[in-house]
A and B are shown apart, each in its own frame.
Chain A
Amino acid sequence: MSERVEVGTSQEVPPSEWGRRQPLGSFSPWVFVLVLGLLLLGRLVFTPYLTAPALQAWATIFVAICVQALPFLAFGVLLSAAITAFVPASFWTRALPRRPFLAVPVAGAAGAVLPGCECASVPVASGLMSRGVTPAAALAFLLASPAINPVVVVATVVAFPGEPMMAVARFGASLAVAVVAGWVWLRFGRADWLRIPSRPVGDGPRWRSFVEAMRHDFLHAGGFLVVGGATAATMNVVVPRSWLESVAGIPVVSVLTLALLAVILSICSEADAFVAASMTAFSPTAKLAFLVVGPMVDLKLIALQTGTFGRRFAARFIPLTFVLAVVVSMAAGEVLL
């Protein structure tokens, strides 16, 4: 703030936009030096006092979420940057059906190919959109991919020994939610709700735009991932699990409870089946809701989607997905489990 005031008083000619930029530009490296100094000083001075069990548990979970998501995020960002830099836009128009109505299910099913969790799919979906893929189709991919890829399906089978229908139901319900959400967006979604990240492509060598895209996406998505991780860690430490038991027996409430828990805990989609399996008191339908909602809506994803596609998008798309996921898993649970 003070920086700007100072600049404001020191300028003589009415400044252009650019004149104002210079001081701030050289300002942030000093903030960085300050950060570094705090780190070194803090390690000597504060570390002995930062030992409250609750704080340590929070920090462990927070760091765990960030560290665990990092490889997936780096992979997703790499893939997304490769899509923008090396795959010509014409490829997507040929690969996907011309009619958006058909492109949605095809893109959703294509989610089965990307073996990652939800952190990887957001940058990839945004990369697809910036290369001209219909937003609704990219969104179907975004929702389906973390839930139906082979790694997650195998994890689900392993976590529920003797209950193969759980993996089947999860696959079917997740794909259905993704496709329906894509169609709903296609029919009712408005272009100005969605901020499609445009990428500077073309000028300069390809590897350069590749590195640029990766760097931008990583810093951007990474920052929002930290927001999501911090919120999820807080919920994890603050919300007692004991109240879960009290609602486990009530039909619809138990489903909603586990759906909300999936949002709060923000567990990686490759691990959530194990957590669901450990909640023995709940009905299979409630566990299915946990598995369907988790990879599509959770605090980590809300932060990532808001950051990538904008607040107006997130405010509409996330509730839509949540409601669809709960309804579809109830129906699938009724039929299959």
Chain B
Amino acid sequence: MNRLTQSMVLVLLGGAVLRITTVSTTYLNYVKPGFRPFLIAAGVVVVALGVIGLVQEWRGSTEPGDHDDHDDHDDHDGHDHAHAPRVAWLLTLPVFAIFLVAPPALGAFSARSEEAPARPVAAAESYDTLSAGQVNEMTIGEFVGRAWGEADSLAGRQVRLTGFSVPSAKKKDRWYLARIQIACCAADGVALKVAVLDAEMPPENTWVEVVGTWKRPPSGELEPGTVAPELNVTSITPIPQPVEPYE
């Protein structure tokens, strides 16, 4: 790989990162919103490295120590210090993935492959009291956290949850409202699930808003991390996928 190509690969990669962070919100499919400034900074740095290289190449101002001659030596263990080895070509792979597959946010496929319900990350020690008269909007993480920790706070309260539909892998007529919770990037995502009762399942992986009340399990309290809490549903509204697909 010579300098010209290296520079072009850098511009391509940096450009792809800038594209998903500045002109669109695609990056939210991969990382937490807080990453945006760092991603933009990194994208700018990478593009700048590439552009500097291109300018140098354009001017032909290759320094005396320009080691183009050694380009081919890095196949084996021998390591070339002034040049990127062929492995740098792999940097185009994420660009291919971004443009060709256009990976969507993790959805039903990932939630289904984990049958055992996950514990929400950092469930708060205590939650606010819910109002009795109106519908309480909350994240699935909070709902699961309450159901496993402070179940009484949910009794008789109407809640509105947002998520996508996932069929149960084991029981035929059971389905879940699920949402992936990430701490940093999609690789650490865990699927949070609430079993939906008294309602037909919409097509798999449909985003819906669900209003309902928590159903007390026959055994009283649930052991955290064992069974998904259940919700008696009064209404289901299909919605477009939220801009921020993860909790």
**Set B79, B84, B96, B185: member contacting A223, Cβ < 8 A:** B84
Binding site for A on B (CB under 8 A): 1-2, 4-6, 8-10, 12-13, 17, 20, 27, 29-31, 35, 38-39, 41-43, 45-46, 49, 52-53, 63-65, 68-69, 71-72, 77, 79, 81-85, 87-110, 113-116, 118-123, 125, 182-188, 190, 224-225
Q: Is the CB of B8 within 8 A of A197?
A: no
Interface flag for A206 (CB, 8 Å): no
Interface flag for A53 (CB, 8 Å): yes
Chain B proximity mask over A23-54: 1 for CB below 8 Å, otherwise 0: 01110110110011011001100110010011
* Complex: A229 Cα to B185 Cα, angstroms: 12
Residue of A nearest to B2 (CB): A25
Chain B proximity mask over A14-26: 1 for CB below 8 Å, otherwise 0: 0001101100111
> Which stretch, A172-180, A237-245, A325-333, touches the partner chain B?
A237-245
Mostly helix, strand, loop or mixed at chain A's interface? helix
Q: Is the CB of A236 within 8 A of B103?
A: no
Q: Is the CB of A195 within 8 A of B79?
A: yes
Residues of B within 8 A of A64 (CB): 29-31, 185-187
Residues of B within 8 A of A46 (CB): 100
Residues of A within 8 A of B6 (CB): 215, 219
Q: Is the CB of B84 within 8 A of A272?
A: no
Q: Smallest CB–CB gap between B12 and chain A, Å? A: 8
Binding site for B on A (CB under 8 A): 17-18, 20-21, 24-26, 28-29, 31-32, 35-36, 38-39, 42-43, 46-47, 50, 53-57, 59-68, 70-71, 73-75, 78, 155, 158-159, 161-162, 195, 197-200, 203-204, 208, 211-212, 214-216, 218-220, 222-224, 226-227, 229-230, 232-233, 236-237, 240-242, 245, 265-268, 270-275, 277-278, 280-281, 307, 310-312
Residues of A within 8 A of B81 (CB): 197-200, 216
Residue of B nearest to A222 (CB): B91
Known: A60-B105, A274-B188. A216 touches B83 (CB 8 A): yes
Residues of B within 8 A of A215 (CB): 6, 10, 49, 53, 84
Q: Is the CB of B109 within 8 A of A54?
A: yes
Known: A25-B2, A42-B100, A230-B93. A211 touches B188 (CB 8 A): no
